[in-house]
Structure 1
Amino acid sequence: MGVSGITQRVKRLPPRMVSVGPLEVQHSFLLMPDSPLNLLGRDLLCKLRATITCSPDGSLSLEVPEESLKLVPVLLSENQDAKEPSIFEIPKDIPESLWATSSSDVGLLKSAVPVQIKTKSSPPPSIPQYPLSKEAIEGITPVINSLIEQGIIIPCKSEYNTPILPIKKPKKGPDGKHIYRFIQDLRAVNNHVIKRHSVVSNIHTIISSIPSTATYFTVVDLCSAFFSIPIHENSRHIFAFTWKGSQYTWCRLPQGYVESPSLFEQILSQDTDNITFKNSKLIKYVDDLLLASTDAKTCQEDSK
């Protein structure tokens, strides 16, 4: 319901920097040219932990506590010259086997128990594979061959089937040919399974948990993260697809499955929740890790 008393749609402006006393906050405002009065943006005021005082004469006063500088560190911007290199070399004593050498490299979370998936009583989705272009087939063949060699996908016979759709990436490979991303349309499967309650972290809560004292950061992107979670053999047939006239299915959680982010984050949290640091904080969001540290030396040491 709009301020005018009727339901209406309004435009949201691009984010702008707003100065309130000593604070600078980036905020996106709603544009309402026909509003009969100025509105107090509750969402912005909550970010600032503001207090509004109403006076008998009808005036309003706004107070923003100084501690908001610490409570909302990620909302502030301050231009500072870098005192040290912004990117440090990776320590040589870290094993090379830790790093992925290609986007199709796959690891395995040893603590992960094979995931069992329950389905509804309705008929299983069986959607035939539509024709693919010659270029798409050539582009996705190395990816599928790599997944077969690593045991990530295996031949199968299943009453389920959903189509694959190779997506061309903007960047070309060293040979000048386009690189393709393996995509499977699992929407029908996602509607057919009985979903668990999702526990993926709230991104806003995660951002606000970054310590205000943190000045150095290490970011780790876990390659092919969902593929590190095995699927129970009784549930693998759900993800069947057709490739060159034969059916294959996944032995690991695939991209596009509705529960993959939540299941992965739960298992990763089990393995990392006991990791603590004196002057650093490890923050997780699905397959991304952020180590926030107070200084460069601490960041380098704790990153190991």
Structure 2
Amino acid sequence: LTVLGNSLTFLVDTGAGKSVIRDPIALTPTSTQIFVRSANGLITKERMSVAVDVCDPVSGITLKAPFVISTTCPVNLLGRDLISQLQLMIRTTAEGVWSVDRMVNLWEEEEKLKELPPELWSEGPADVGLIKGAEPVKIIPKSDYRPFQRQYPLKTDAQEGIVPIFNSLLKAGVIRECPESPVNTPLFPVRKSPPSTGWRMVQDLQAVNAAVVPRSPLVADPYTLLNDLNPEHQWYTVIDVSNAFFSVPVHPDSQFWFAFTFQGQRYTWTRLPQGYCESPTIFSQVMMSSLAKFKPPCGSQILVYVDDILMASKTEADCWSDTLALLHWLAAQGHRLSKSKLQLVKQKVIYLGHVLTHNGKAILESRKTAGHQ
């Protein structure tokens, strides 16, 4: 393996939970210490290194991993942590020689995801990101007119149904009190479709949309977007950005435009709300700007449609390497992702209502059925 640019030889040890380096390379120790039992039963305390660049020159997989730093271990050891991360399988041949092949399983996928910052994954509708460098949105009005529509009475079950999400968003700072706003538009809670339960907090912003000067729409056409897909790239990862619009701030001077009334009090949004006509365009611009600085190490292709990201790669190893690099990048840029919607390094995925495979793209059957109804 190549570690920090150094070509090192390792002994594969399935009995070792963590990989060990004894060679004198420039590993930076951390404060984390672990107890290590050697083959002769001797127990010593060793330090872990920071995560460093590791490359398997055979498969081309590149990743970051920490090592146990030990001067007492007689050789470098390749433990179960890197065996799984490098997608290796150990088996015996008819000649009795041990050989190493590649293997992927769900446990390994979960292990790979553990390397990522835990804050990358959204825990719910109020767990929102804040994209680095995103300029606070300023609203440009058409005139001095400020729409004010009173909140109509809500049914008890609807009002009670949105209390949990309202309280969560208020606590997270996505909603704030705004008693002075000259604008007001009504809430109309919507019951979620089965099998989901509960209510969605929806605001009717049509009057606001009619009173502002919208930016030119820059959202890509999903059908033409897929035509840009390189047919040689047949390994895919699909990423869903969670609570995407809420990761873009609204300028304090413009927040009053999104005011509403709930339980007799006036509130507004501090982040870009659903239902605002410019939200898809603004978020798309911010996302494209955020991703423009990311270069996939293995040259994978990235397609973006609002909050849905597709990575396409030539090989499985390239897809793993570039996917993990992209996920680390998104975490560093302040995004939150849906872990449950992640389609990770597959040759068959669903993206923008299409099934993507090595044979090309096909419209999802449910979309075909809906189109004939």
From 266, 269, 275, give the equivalent of 2:294. 275
- How far has the Cα of 1:197 moved from its partner? 1.2
Q: Superposed, which structure 2 residues align to 1:131-146 within 5 Å?
A: 131-146=153-168
Q: Which residue of 2 aligns with 1:206?
A: 225
Structure 1 position 188 matched with structure 2 position 216: no
- Counterpart amino acid of residue 210 in structure 2: N
Runs of 4+ in 1 over 3 A off after TM superposition: 84-88
Structure 1 position 301 matched with structure 2 position 324: no
- How far has the Cα of 1:170 moved from its partner? 2.3
In structure 1, distance between residues paired with 2:260 and 2:313:
45
- 1:24-45 per-residue CA deviation (whole Å, 9 max, x = no partner) reads xxxxxxxxxxxxxxxxxxxxxx
Q: Superposed, which structure 2 residues align to 1:84-233 within 5 Å?
A: 89-90=109-110, 91=112, 92-156=114-178, 157-171=180-194, 178-233=197-252
From 289, 296, 309, give the equivalent of 1:289. 309
- 1:186-238 per-residue CA deviation (whole Å, 9 max, x = no partner) reads 01100000111111112223111111012111111111110111111111111
Q: Would you say the 8 A contact 1:160–1:240 is kept in 2?
A: yes
- How far has the Cα of 1:296 moved from its partner? 1.6
Which consecutive residues of structure 2, in runs of 5 or more, have no partner in the other structure? 1-102, 325-373
Q: Which residue of 1 aligns with 2:50?
A: none
In structure 1, distance between residues paired with 2:219 and 2:226:
14
Q: Which residue of 2 aligns with 1:252?
A: 271
Q: Which moved more, 1:237-246 or 1:88-97?
A: 88-97
Q: Would you say the 8 A contact 1:172–1:179 is kept in 2?
A: no
Identify the structure with the greater strand proportion. Answer: 2
- 1:103-133 per-residue CA deviation (whole Å, 9 max, x = no partner) reads 3311100110111111121521111111111
Shift in alpha-carbon separation, 1:248–1:116, aligned structure 2, 3 A: same
Q: Which residue of 1 aligns with 2:45?
A: none
- Counterpart amino acid of residue 297 in structure 1: A
- 1:135-167 per-residue CA deviation (whole Å, 9 max, x = no partner) reads 111110010101100101101121111001111
Secondary structure of the equivalent of 1:89?
helix
Q: Which residue of 2 aligns with 1:69?
A: none
- How far has the Cα of 1:85 moved from its partner? 7.0
Number of aligned residue pairs? 218
In structure 2, distance between residues paired with 1:238 and 1:201:
27
- Counterpart amino acid of residue 115 in structure 2: D
Secondary structure of the equivalent of 1:289?
strand
